[in-house]
Amino acid sequence: MKLKTKNLIYLFIPIIIVFTYPLLNAIIYNLLLYISSLYDGLSNFLENNYAMTDTLISLLLVILFFPLYKWITKNKITLQPIKSNFVLICIPFSLALGGLSYIILAIIERFLVPIGILKDEFADFSNMWSQFDNDAYFWVFLSIVFLGPLFEEILFRGIVYNFLEKYKSGLFPVIISGVLFGIWHAQAVQSIYTAVMGIVLGYVYMKTKNLFYPTLLHMLNNLYSTLPQSMQSDYLYTLIDTISVLMVIPFAIIFIMKYKKDREKIKSIKERGAE
């Protein structure tokens, strides 16, 4: 009974962390506003520079959650060495992730929005990034491309996944941590494709046991949609979207083949153990 209760703790702790995040985020935000109010003009400056505020919040969250990640992984931050060939694969792989998101959003826009499902949510999603339009790219890069993904990977693949794996191994922590990653984004349209993305990143973490890879994939994926102002053009974004969609097919085949190979290996081990 004691062991079962302990296992349930490993299941509920990540859920509690995810659902109490808005409160923690609000506390940090208001703390920043309070500190800035002590200096003339700084409070208004923070309120009117969303990317910089988000960068500071993400930095504080990394500082807060990284020790928990170290503790739960018993200080073994990377259990496997970084392989240069897989780092190179991360470039087209991250494009495939973006292509998968593009396909999901296209399906929502084409089939669900016209019949009224997620219509308002899709409009909100389309306007969501406008708050970054007037911010300096330095802060946008730190917020969306670097510190944001770093914190999210520490939280979901580093902490949530590892807690869930202590409860039950296999695909369970991959799927649940991915679904929680989607719910955590708290925007209906965004939650759908980020849940799928989270499951893929969780699978990568399960196979590599190295947080570097899902973090790199996450950062590259965000970079493609957050280019500097001087590089932004309809032609370039169309080119990136086209390449991204084309990358989905080969990587989907690789994933399916890898999954089948792993299943056969597990089956073979079980059969040898039964002999």
Question: Residue ranges per domain, the chain?
Answer: 2-262
Count Cβ atoms within 10 A of the Cβ of residue 176 and give its class: 0-12 exposed, 13-18 middle, 19 or more buried.
buried
DSSP per-residue codes, 148-200: HHHHHHIIIIIIIHHHHHHH--THHHHHHHHHHHHHHT--HHHHHHHHHHHHH
Is the confidence at residue 260, as pLDDT, over 90? no
Q: Which residues lie closer than 8 Å to 100 by C-beta, 6 or more apart?
A: 193, 196, 197, 200, 248
Output the CA torsion 267→269→274→275 (10° steps). Answer: 120
Query: SS3 for 78?
Result: strand
CA dist 94 and 189 (Å) reads 20
> What token pair was written down for 247?
């990358």
Choose among 15, 16, 23: nearest CA to 180.
15
Residue 99: pLDDT band with limits 50, 70, 90: very high
Percentage of the chain lying above the pLDDT 70 cut: 92
Cβ-contact 151, 17 below 8 angstroms = no
CA gap 103, 187 in Å, rounded = 18
Query: Mind listing the pLDDT tens digit for each residue in 201-254?
Result: 999 999 999 999 999 999 999 999 899 888 889 899 999 999 999 999 999 998
pLDDT the model gives residue 95: 96
In this prediction the pTM is 0.91
Burial group, residue 109, by CB count within 10 angstroms (0-12, 13-18, 19+) = middle
CA distance 238 to 76: 41
- Which residues partner with 78 through β-bridges? 210
